């Protein structure tokens, strides 16, 4: 989806579609880099095996039970040229 927007998608369209970015930087040459959080990560929690809660799983000795792994926040980063049009994009995980 984003590849097809390179060269035509503008800063104004991004602001309208995505809202205010979480981070934005204006570079010396007039280029802009902005990022939006697209998915909030999780900091780990107790997991379930199917619909069996953790305490029951340990009772039945399911070896797969443990704390859920850390899942980072996902960001969409858009880079706009001095003309305000999209030149590149990527996803970041923090």
Mean per-residue pLDDT pooled into runs of 10, the chain (94 residues) = 95 95 95 93 57 50 54 90 97 87
Please tell me the pTM assigned to this model.
0.69
d(CA 44, CA 67): 6
Contact assessment for residue 22 and residue 58, using Cβ atoms and an 8 Å cutoff: no
């Amino acid at each position: 989806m984003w590849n097809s927007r390179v060269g035509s998608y503008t800063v104004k369209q991004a602001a309208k579609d995505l809202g205010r970015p979480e981070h934005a930087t204006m570079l010396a040459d007039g280029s802009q880099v902005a990022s939006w959080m697209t998915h909030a990560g999780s900091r780990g929690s107790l997991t379930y095996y199917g619909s069996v809660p953790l305490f029951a799983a340990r009772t039945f000795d399911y070896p797969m039970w443990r704390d859920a792994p850390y899942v980072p926040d996902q960001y969409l980063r858009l880079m706009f040229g001095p003309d305000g049009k999209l030149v590149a994009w990527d996803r970041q995980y923090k």
